[in-house]
Amino acid sequence: MIRTGISMLALAAFLAAPAFSQTTFPAAPAAQATPTAAEAQAFLDRAQKEVTEFNLIAQRVAWVNATFITDDTDALAAEYGARGTEMSVRYAAEAARYQKAPGLSDEQKRQLTMLRSAITLPAPATPGAAQTLSDISTRLGSLYAKGKGTLNGKPINGSDIEAAMGTSRNPAELKEMWLSWHDQVGAPMRGDYVKMTAIANQGARDLGFADTGALWRSSYDMPPEEFARLTDRLWDEVKPLYVALHTYVRRKLNEKYGDAVQAKTGPIRADLLGNMWAQEWGNIYDVVAPPGAGDLGFEIGDLLTAKSYDWKKMVQTGEGFYSSLGFAPLPETFWQRSLFLKPADREVLCHASAWNIDEKDDLRIKMCIKVNSDDFVTIHHELGHNYYQRAYKDLPQLYRNGANDGFHEAIGDFVALSITPDYLVQIGLLDRAKVPSADKDTGLLLRQAMDKVAFLPFGLLVDKYRWSVFSGAIPASGYQAGWDKLRLQYQGIVPPAQRDETRFDPAAKYHVAGSVPYTRYFLARLLQFQFYKAACDQSGWKGPLHRCSFYGNKQVGARLNKMLEMGASRPWPDALEAFTGTREISGKPMMEYFAPLKKWLDQQNKGQPQGW
């Protein structure tokens, strides 16, 4: 499983979205009949200056809270969260007023739109609403970070339970871990989530949006309803590949566990897929691997152990990939200030993430690194955030972000696609004599698909669920049923036991508890294949797409850096075109990458019931 982290700027949308740096905040300016373009520019200049000043403090508070969780750091995070929320709402309201000014340039209009939609959880102007919203948000995040499940009746923390879900093949153990995590972590958040939704929705309506979901969908340089249609179109392009994979994996699980655990038809039991959220299935590759072709001859985790890799060598290797493309080394402070290992003496949020504390050169990652394949890939991913953050650091404040949030996630992911056997040979991890031959390509592609393809419907439904919660299409009385229905509809999975409305399983996922929009990860899964194909084309690769590694190609690095340096200064189609030559996000490069696997799956699935 790839732990897809979020950039610090994305987290700042919750903790330190555009806000003043003063402790006492000035009131919004009195209404004017017709603001001018000059006044709008003065507002934009002031806002960006104050955002930068506030974020420096707020991001340090967020870092301390994430790496040293106590009641005191929770309180500090809540306080700064309230300040950020309150001021984000003020800025958004002021931006809406200035959008009416005549003679605005296109850039001014776009910056005002960014300010209006920058906040993830808007609070209404009602006294105390921002503090209440921040208190709830902080409480939910802390509940998740401190959350525990059980294994054989003994408590087990979130990081360890993720690992255990990937290695256990005992259905009783898997069921216990799945149920205990969802019951002990998700269910207690339900009441607070109802309150948080109501407050945020009122704040969104005050800003002129239909609800919080519409606000989230407004950040993609297109109307919210058009963006929703785009995600549906993209899912339709790749759904046949997912259905073929689901059909094959279901049969293999039935063969291993029998009808009493996994039926031959219908949905798959969620806890059998090697991941707490059934979002990526790579951990059970051993269960589904085809005879012969499925034995790749190596496992990255074993290679790391054999070469005596520790956390530092793993991170240095990830840095080395970017250096090979021509990027400058990470600053010394990265090594001094990052969190690489889980401390034994305190609670930390182990969910992997990448930070730029001062929005200049104070780059960091936060991980509880284990020497295994998952974390080796995750390191390459998280560093992608850091190099993106550094590339756009000199842009105006509002443009210090990815072209859209899917871009930020896709950069590291497409680099990680280049972790091919040839790359492992180049860095000395794999002997060339052990590079899998062409007859192993089915296994190589199936192993990739178990993560990349399996994730797609989950990446889509997490926000589809929340959009429906925010709009009221899923009422508070039906939170659990709504979640189960969407997971069945899109993923074709079911929980290992019946769930009722005392439960709240979606909050057992970090991004729901932390109110992090999730569609970015769906977009990133598709964008990474577009970026990867473009890089391979630029490097002159002629073989099968999935065997391509552009490690060491500085031409690719130079063109990539041009896109990264654009940040959010242009609409995302401009940035996409700068690197790939096309302005449309598409699922076709992913389908091309996995075309040999799709053909093989269709052969394996002949005579099998399709879908669920």
pLDDT tens digits, 227-251: 999 999 999 999 999 999 999 999 9
What confidence tens digit (pLDDT) does each residue in 290-316 have? Answer: 887 767 778 899 999 999 999 999 999
Higher pLDDT, 8 or 194: 194
Residue 520 annotated in ligand binding: yes
Residue 385 annotated in ligand binding: yes
- Give the pLDDT band of residue 170 (cuts 50, 70, 90): very high
Q: How far apart are CA 10 and CA 62, in angstroms?
A: 12
What kind and span of H or E run contains 242? helix 224-257
The answer to whether 47 touches 39, Cβ cutoff 8 Å, is: no
- Name 533's Cβ contacts closer than 8 Å, sequence gap at least 6: 545, 580, 589, 592, 593
Share of the chain above pLDDT 70, in %: 94
**Integer angstrom CA distances of residue 120 from 110, 143, 211, 597:** 18, 20, 11, 39
Share of the chain above pLDDT 90, in %: 79
Q: How far apart are CA 300 and CA 513, in angstroms?
A: 32
Residue 482, classed as helix, strand or coil, is helix
The answer to whether 523 touches 404, Cβ cutoff 8 Å, is: yes
Please name every residue paired with 364 in a beta bridge, in sequence order, or none if there are none.
Answer: 355
Query: In this predicted structure, what is the pLDDT of residue 498?
Result: 97
- Give the pLDDT band of residue 16 (cuts 50, 70, 90): very low
Residue 83 annotated in ligand binding: no
Residue 408 annotated in ligand binding: no
Mean pLDDT is lowest, of 39-53, 81-95, 405-419, 486-500, for: 81-95
Query: In this predicted structure, what is the pLDDT of residue 23?
Result: 29
Q: Is the pLDDT of residue 30 over 60?
A: no
Q: Is the pLDDT of residue 558 over 60?
A: yes
Amino acid type, 149:
G
- Give the pLDDT band of residue 3 (cuts 50, 70, 90): very low
Q: Is the pLDDT of residue 4 over 60?
A: no
- Name 29's Cβ contacts closer than 8 Å, sequence gap at least 6: 94
Query: In this predicted structure, what is the pLDDT of residue 19?
Result: 28
Q: Which residues are catalytic?
A: 382, 511
Backbone angles phi, psi at 155, to 5 degrees: -60, 145
What confidence tens digit (pLDDT) does each residue in 573-602 have? Answer: 999 999 999 999 999 999 999 999 999 999
Pair of tokens at residue 102: 């005549």
Q: Is the pLDDT of residue 24 over 50?
A: no
Q: What mean pLDDT do residues 509-514 have?
A: 94
Q: What mean pLDDT do residues 344-373 have?
A: 93
Q: Is the pLDDT of residue 59 over 80?
A: yes
Residue 409 annotated in ligand binding: yes
Average model confidence (pLDDT) across the chain: 91
Q: Is the pLDDT of residue 15 over 90?
A: no
What confidence tens digit (pLDDT) does each residue in 70-79 have? Answer: 999 999 998 9
Alpha carbon 198 to its chain's center: 25
- Name 97's Cβ contacts closer than 8 Å, sequence gap at least 6: 31, 32, 35
